[in-house]
């Protein structure tokens, strides 16, 4: 699976790992937002590869395995995010996911309907750099690398790698402009 080769998603071991994650997601999604310590404990069990910095996940939140997800410091996932981590998904420091973001390392055989119907899947890793803001309802597709200091517009579908310091949007996502780090400070004068 992690090698990107065709695999059966209903393999008993994989199914058991997904069930564990689903149970933890269920617990998290049923826990009051005021029960901060309980929520943090569940998140740390669900995402064991995390930094010691702040990780905040709003409910509802869904993840396939959790064990293939790596998040840096100051990670925030707003309501309704889904992460299909059937391959490694690495998210850098200071990353924000707006409501209903979908990050999916999973795909299915396109040219073979028999394999697709059998439950066969393919995967590709995803890497998201530092200081990335992903807008509401954006989708990050398998195999994508997103650079540092990137803003992904709401509703974008990212199918290809994104370089550092840009704003992207659209379906499929394309670079809309370079980020000018002086732009907002200049406009306030």
Query: Which residues are tagged catalytic?
Result: 108
Closest CA relative to residue 120, chosen from 107, 137, 133, 104 = 107
- 95 neighbors 132 (Cβ within 8 angstroms): yes
Look-up of token digits 């826990």 = 31
Show contacts of 19-22: CB within 8 Å, 24+ apart: 20/66, 21/46, 21/63, 21/64, 21/65, 21/66, 21/67
Alpha-carbon distance of 10 to 1, in angstroms, equals 12
Closest CA relative to residue 123, chosen from 144, 102, 107, 140 = 107
Radius of gyration from C-alpha coordinates of the chain: 17
């Amino acid at each position: 699976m992690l090698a990107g080769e065709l695999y059966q998603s209903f393999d008993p071991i994989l199914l058991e790992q997904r069930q564990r994650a689903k149970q933890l997601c269920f617990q998290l999604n049923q826990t009051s937002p005021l029960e901060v310590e309980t929520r943090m404990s569940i998140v740390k069990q669900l995402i064991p590869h995390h930094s010691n910095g702040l990780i905040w996940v709003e409910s509802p939140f869904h993840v396939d395995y959790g064990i293939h997800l790596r998040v840096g410091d100051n990670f925030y996932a707003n309501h309704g995010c889904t992460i299909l981590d059937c391959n490694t998904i690495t998210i850098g420091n200071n990353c924000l996911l707006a409501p209903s973001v979908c990050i999916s390392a999973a795909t299915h055989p396109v040219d073979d309907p028999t394999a697709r119907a059998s439950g066969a899947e393919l995967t590709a890793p995803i890497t998201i750099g530092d200081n990335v803001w992903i807008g509401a309802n954006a989708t990050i597709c398998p195999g994508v690398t997103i650079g540092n200091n990137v803003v992904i517009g709401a509703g974008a579908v990212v199918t290809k790698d994104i370089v550092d310091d840009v704003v992207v949007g659209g379906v499929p996502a394309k670079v809309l402009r370079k980020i000018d780090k002086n732009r907002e400070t200049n406009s306030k004068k």
